[in-house]
A and B are shown apart, each in its own frame.
Chain A
Amino acid sequence: RKEVEQDPGPFNVPEGATVAFNCTYSNSASQSFFWYRQDCRKEPKLLMSVYSSGNEDGRFTAQLNRASQYISLLIRDSKLSDSATYLCVVGRGWSNAGNMLTFGGGTRLMVKP
């Protein structure tokens, strides 16, 4: 079983739709969680950290469920510019150091006009 698993998609949604991705992780000792965004043939960029109580940044909401060991990303009112691959990233400690992170394979989102 992979340490961090994501549905690769693609998720094809119309503009304005709400879409949600889940990501499961296997290490129950994981302490830090992130979503990165990667545009086609570009580098990953941090989208948002995921906090225990859940957090929101504009149209994006991230949730953590420790009991079931998954995190989720909800995107409301999808824009064409949201089309990208979303990487779930889990840290083995309270650190964002690259050597402590495990990246999921990514979920591809395509927003259509």
Chain B
Amino acid sequence: QVRLRESGPGLVKPSETLSLTCSVSDSSIITDHYWGWFRQPPGKGLEWIGSIFYSGSTYYNPSLNSRLTLSVDTSKNQFSLRLKSVTAADTAVYYCARGAPYGSGSCDHWGQGTLVSVSP
């Protein structure tokens, strides 16, 4: 059973950089799967942020592409997100998940989510 856990600051100031890490346990991050980031503003729907494979290949949501960097650290079995120049619109629960490398690319394992608020 793969387990994922998000970690990082719960409060970020506007114009600063949001950084989160997802720790993967009970499975190696070195698989064919992709590792994804998603977010959900309070009371709203889900949004895909981006995906990364252990090789380092990345796919980004075009709406976030200019501010987003995903990375993977296979030695720590972790992957990370950096979103720069944040605004209040980036306030959300952020989830990491494992995705299938074929077909619909569905995510079968998710972290519990972490709330990040952007506020002065």
The finding on whether chains A and B are genuine partners in a shared complex, rather than unrelated, reads no
